[in-house]
Chains A and B, each alone.
Chain A
Amino acid sequence: MIVAEPKSLDEIKAMTEGFDRILMVGCGTCTTVSLTGGEREVNLMATALRLARKVEGRDIEIGEQTILRQCDFEYIDELKDVDSYQAAVSFACGAGIQGLARKFVGKPVLPGVNTQFIGFNEEYGYFTEQCKACGDCILHLTGGICPVARCAKGLLNGPCGGTNNGKCEISKDKDCAWVLIYNQLERLGNLEQFKKIIAPKDFAKAGNIRSMDLRKAGD
């Protein structure tokens, strides 16, 4: 899932400074699961912002709606009374925020969260990055552990000299991905693989303005 972190109330206050009627839109998929963009967070931020404005001496109106996903127009179309708001704050990942912006023509759509990474839910409230969306997956060579995302240097051939009793030199709380890879390959009886040099990846595949067109498949 895509993991997003909450923006501070101060930031949201600053972004929404000029508006008196705001729509806050939650996303019922990734950011709900990462606990920062679902109905609860929208409700919390909306209440906090209304209170903050009251403290400043003004009453504002905030609509709160949560849809299943903000990366699909069909769901965005479910939003009600969008015209009556001056601005929207989206609690979806960057894709959702932009999806909303395409529907909310002529009005500002503001980010309610900071999109972080593609991650895994380790335990309640704790998420770790697992994938950089590099476009050229090598997990079959690395025992199912991604060095691009989980090695601090993104080394394709590791470990480096900074490996330290299984931990990474940047922090004793972070596992060295290459030790994990070694151990897993050993368990798989495939340490031979460890000796092979992995060729440089085609980073063009991770370039910008990416798109994917499956419609060509039937041609």
Chain B
Amino acid sequence: MKDKVSNIKPPCIVACPVHADIQTYVGYIGQGRFKEALDVIREGCTLPGSLGRICNHPCESECRRNKVDEAVSIRSIKRFAADVCMGLPHPDPIPKIKGKKVAIIGGGPSGLTAAYDLAKDGFDVTIIEKNDACGGAIYTGVPKYRLPKDIVAWDVEAIASLGVEIKTNTEVGKNISFNDIVKDYDAVLIAIGLSISRGLPIPGADAEGVLLALPFLKMVNFDESAKAAKRVIVIGGGNVAIDVARSARRIGAEDVKMFCLESDEEMPASPWEIEEAKEEGVQMFPSWGPKEITVKDGKVVGMVFKRCLSVFENGMFNPKFDECELTEVETDNVIFSIGQGADVSGFVNTELSVDERGRIAFNPSTMQTNMKGVFACGEVVTGPGAAVAAMKSGHRAATAIARFLETGKAAALHLSEPTAIGQVPDSVVDIITKLPRTPVEMANPVERATNFGEVEFGFDQKTAMFEARRCMSCGAGARIIEEKCAACLTCVRVCPYGAPYVREARVANFALENCQACGICAAECPALAIDIKLNIDTGIAVRASRSLDEPFITAFTCQYSVPEVLNPDTVKTAPLAGVNQVAMLCNNRIDTLHILAAFEAGADGVLVAACPDEKCRHNKGVDWPKIRVDRAKDMLNGIGLGADRLEFAKVAKGSAPGLASAINTFKDKIKELGPSPASKQLTPSK
């Protein structure tokens, strides 16, 4: 809930409504630091297990890899982070140091997110939820084949474990009065979402066999014995309608037809949802409007549609029909899935105002309703959207409430939005190494349409790490330290991507759009005036009390050459035994200085493991690591340590066995050479 500082960010982060720090967590996954990745995810996306499965991932549409090959599979990487950490204990409770109580009415994504932020800030938070569990529409609405209930429960438990009290089966207006809540708490947040399904007042709409989306989905989710008729018509073209159609298939409907006003291209459902529904045998009938339901003996027997010519006029919903072009379809069920509305019945006869659309009236800049200290967030104020958008609203509300409780006043929030780095220039696209996107495995369509097992299988560790390593670390590369820059233009001459350029005939400047964070320039700059923002781990360990009997080896690798053996306690891949592994973003960053510094820190031997030329993403004909190793070897001879103590190995990216064997062979060699004569006295003189 920190105010976002105005700055330039990778487009994925900018596109994500909660501005999750995608670059950092994707990087952590690539390096085998899974728990750390999850911690980063949660700060923005408070329900990682769930959203790792169902998020509409606007981040991926903006990924700069789209222009090079295909977007990084960010959502599936997030899912992996959650799944791999599911065995870990939940976070510890946060002390309620603020001494203020906040009630949150509604435990959907927006309310839960606000609860997370406020609890982390030290407030005493209670969620009041009418259902038997939290999760909101992703618990009651989203079908199990996309999001199993135990995943939602795991996400909710993690928030509860921070010390958030959750009162389930408590409906405001029924089991507890709104006015009492307002009296008992220092601030109240209304996050009740949109829980009423809309129907249409057409002839026959009250017949038996006509259903509404949300009750239908709730039944499918919680009633094991739910059965559908043989033929089902779903009215609507959004994601909810698709959920209804695919669920109907799973409870026995053989003939499922979706009718919607929109044309094929205009259908609001996500393209991948439409595709998956079609694979499961759902038939789509776009550009048809409902005219009437045919009823026999009080029961649905069919439905008449009229051709829809257009849906929008000047951006406003204003459908035009051809009343002469009609079609009649036989069916046993009609399920309306055309939108949701707010249920504010629990707040009648209170001071709270409702707007003309039946949603809670509020001031979007302060998040406050017409009542002092009563705030609102989520879909009940924003209208329908994606869960991550509801989370954004929850973060905003938490910030507003925290300020209100600290100052006694609701103030306008000025949360500055980051701006995105521009596209990769065409000239750079051509030289960036192409790495195809890792496909996510899906269950067989014929089989999956018969049950509620998850349709999408997550990545395993290897694929998740591989996919994460496709990230281009946008904007995490070179930064000039202007005070130190000697305007020598070395960076301009060595960069393979044309990132540094001469500005106003003076110093070098860096085009963020071009830079690939390879680090070549930083290791060549004679004035040490270039920083690589994302240096993974340049800390060179000092040999403190390590015995002189065991060789002390420092291995410089690229961040991707980390071993893959998982330590289940830390959910981190274990380091190689007896070796200080220093992971650079790319070994083109390795500097002769790093090598000498490792010897000064007490290393008996130093191994530089670079990817083979054809595997290195950034090697464009110059083997920079080798040039630097050669210089260091020369110096080691002069120093009296001898060049033998430095080894240059080419190890395939991500090949743990390759790296381990290179290290072991080298260790044996160093064992024979004996301890470094420079490590006998260990008083670092700097």
Chain A residues engaging chain B, CB cutoff 8 angstroms: 8-10, 13, 28-29, 32-33, 35-36, 38-41, 43-44, 47-48, 50-52, 54-57, 59-62, 66, 121, 123-124
B600 / chain A contacts, CB cutoff of 8 Å: 47, 50-51, 54
The answer to whether A43 touches B527 (Cβ under 8 A) is: no
Interface size, chain B (Cβ < 8 Å): 31
A212 CB, nearest partner CB in chain B, Å: 25
B669 within 8 Å of A (CB atoms): no
B596 within 8 Å of A (CB atoms): yes
B409 within 8 Å of A (CB atoms): no
Known A-B contacts A28-B486, A50-B600, A121-B489; the reply to A43 vs B685 at CB < 8 A is: no
A58 CB, nearest partner CB in chain B, Å: 8
Rounded to whole angstroms, the CA-CA distance of A48 and B638 in the bound complex is 8
Known A-B contacts A32-B488, A41-B526; the reply to A48 vs B678 at CB < 8 A is: no
Within 8 A of A (CB), among B568-607: 592-593, 596-597, 599-600
Cβ proximity bits B447-487 to A, threshold 8 Å, 1 near / 0 not: 00000000000000000000000000000000000001011
Within 8 A of A (CB), among B631-645: 635, 638-641
B439 / chain A contacts, CB cutoff of 8 Å: none
A124 / chain B contacts, CB cutoff of 8 Å: 490, 493-494, 524
Cβ proximity bits B84-99 to A, threshold 8 Å, 1 near / 0 not: 0000000000000000
The answer to whether A54 touches B681 (Cβ under 8 A) is: yes
Rounded to whole angstroms, the CA-CA distance of A43 and B526 in the bound complex is 10
The 7 closest A-B pairs by CB, nearest first: A9-B638, A38-B526, A124-B493, A55-B640, A33-B488, A54-B678, A32-B486
B427 within 8 Å of A (CB atoms): no
Rounded to whole angstroms, the CA-CA distance of A51 and B641 in the bound complex is 9
B525 within 8 Å of A (CB atoms): yes
Known A-B contacts A51-B599, A51-B678, A54-B681; the reply to A10 vs B638 at CB < 8 A is: yes
A28 / chain B contacts, CB cutoff of 8 Å: 486, 527
The answer to whether A48 touches B635 (Cβ under 8 A) is: yes
B528 within 8 Å of A (CB atoms): yes
B489 CB, nearest partner CB in chain A, Å: 7
B683 within 8 Å of A (CB atoms): yes
The answer to whether A47 touches B593 (Cβ under 8 A) is: yes
Q: Could you write out 20 A-B pairs with CB less than 8 Å apart?
A: A9-B635, A9-B638, A9-B639, A35-B526, A36-B526, A38-B488, A38-B526, A44-B635, A47-B597, A47-B600, A48-B639, A50-B600, A51-B596, A51-B639, A54-B600, A55-B639, A55-B678, A56-B640, A123-B493, A124-B490
A167 CB, nearest partner CB in chain B, Å: 26
In-complex Cβ contact of A40 among B527, B640, B683 (8 A): B527
The answer to whether A59 touches B527 (Cβ under 8 A) is: no
Known A-B contacts A47-B593, A47-B597; the reply to A32 vs B635 at CB < 8 A is: no
Known A-B contacts A32-B486, A54-B681, A55-B640; the reply to A38 vs B597 at CB < 8 A is: no
Cβ proximity bits B377-390 to A, threshold 8 Å, 1 near / 0 not: 00000000000000
A127 CB, nearest partner CB in chain B, Å: 11
A21 CB, nearest partner CB in chain B, Å: 10
B527 / chain A contacts, CB cutoff of 8 Å: 28, 32, 38-40, 66
B520 CB, nearest partner CB in chain A, Å: 11
A9 / chain B contacts, CB cutoff of 8 Å: 635, 638-639
B315 within 8 Å of A (CB atoms): no
B677 within 8 Å of A (CB atoms): yes
A57 / chain B contacts, CB cutoff of 8 Å: 680-681
A60 / chain B contacts, CB cutoff of 8 Å: 685
Rounded to whole angstroms, the CA-CA distance of A27 and B680 in the bound complex is 34
- A62's nearest neighbour on chain B, judged by CB, is B685
B450 CB, nearest partner CB in chain A, Å: 64
In-complex Cβ contact of B526 among A8, A32, A56 (8 A): A32
Known A-B contacts A33-B526, A40-B526, A51-B596; the reply to A61 vs B484 at CB < 8 A is: no
Within 8 A of A (CB), among B520-542: 524-528
The answer to whether A43 touches B528 (Cβ under 8 A) is: yes
Within 8 A of A (CB), among B650-686: 677-678, 680-681, 683, 685-686
Rounded to whole angstroms, the CA-CA distance of A10 and B640 in the bound complex is 10
B526 / chain A contacts, CB cutoff of 8 Å: 32-33, 35-36, 38-41
In-complex Cβ contact of A38 among B486, B641, B677 (8 A): B486
B629 CB, nearest partner CB in chain A, Å: 14
B316 CB, nearest partner CB in chain A, Å: 60
- B491's nearest neighbour on chain A, judged by CB, is A124
Rounded to whole angstroms, the CA-CA distance of A111 and B484 in the bound complex is 23
Rounded to whole angstroms, the CA-CA distance of A41 and B600 in the bound complex is 16
Q: Which of A32, A33, A50 has the most chain B CB atoms inside 10 A of its CB?
A: A32
B90 CB, nearest partner CB in chain A, Å: 46
Known A-B contacts A39-B526, A40-B528; the reply to A54 vs B596 at CB < 8 A is: no
A40 / chain B contacts, CB cutoff of 8 Å: 525-528, 593
B680 / chain A contacts, CB cutoff of 8 Å: 54, 57
Cβ proximity bits B536-555 to A, threshold 8 Å, 1 near / 0 not: 00000000000000000000
In-complex Cβ contact of A61 among B592, B593, B685 (8 A): B685
B597 / chain A contacts, CB cutoff of 8 Å: 47
The answer to whether B488 touches A13 (Cβ under 8 A) is: no
- A11's nearest neighbour on chain B, judged by CB, is B638
Rounded to whole angstroms, the CA-CA distance of A62 and B596 in the bound complex is 15
A130 CB, nearest partner CB in chain B, Å: 17
The answer to whether B486 touches A13 (Cβ under 8 A) is: no
Rounded to whole angstroms, the CA-CA distance of A29 and B527 in the bound complex is 10
Rounded to whole angstroms, the CA-CA distance of A40 and B488 in the bound complex is 13
B486 / chain A contacts, CB cutoff of 8 Å: 28-29, 32-33, 38
Known A-B contacts A8-B638, A28-B486, A124-B490; the reply to A48 vs B596 at CB < 8 A is: yes
A29 CB, nearest partner CB in chain B, Å: 7
Known A-B contacts A40-B593, A48-B635; the reply to A59 vs B528 at CB < 8 A is: no
Cβ proximity bits B281-322 to A, threshold 8 Å, 1 near / 0 not: 000000000000000000000000000000000000000000
Rounded to whole angstroms, the CA-CA distance of A61 and B686 in the bound complex is 7
Rounded to whole angstroms, the CA-CA distance of A13 and B635 in the bound complex is 12
Rounded to whole angstroms, the CA-CA distance of A9 and B637 in the bound complex is 9
Rounded to whole angstroms, the CA-CA distance of A59 and B592 in the bound complex is 22
- B489's nearest neighbour on chain A, judged by CB, is A121
- B678's nearest neighbour on chain A, judged by CB, is A54
The answer to whether A39 touches B484 (Cβ under 8 A) is: yes
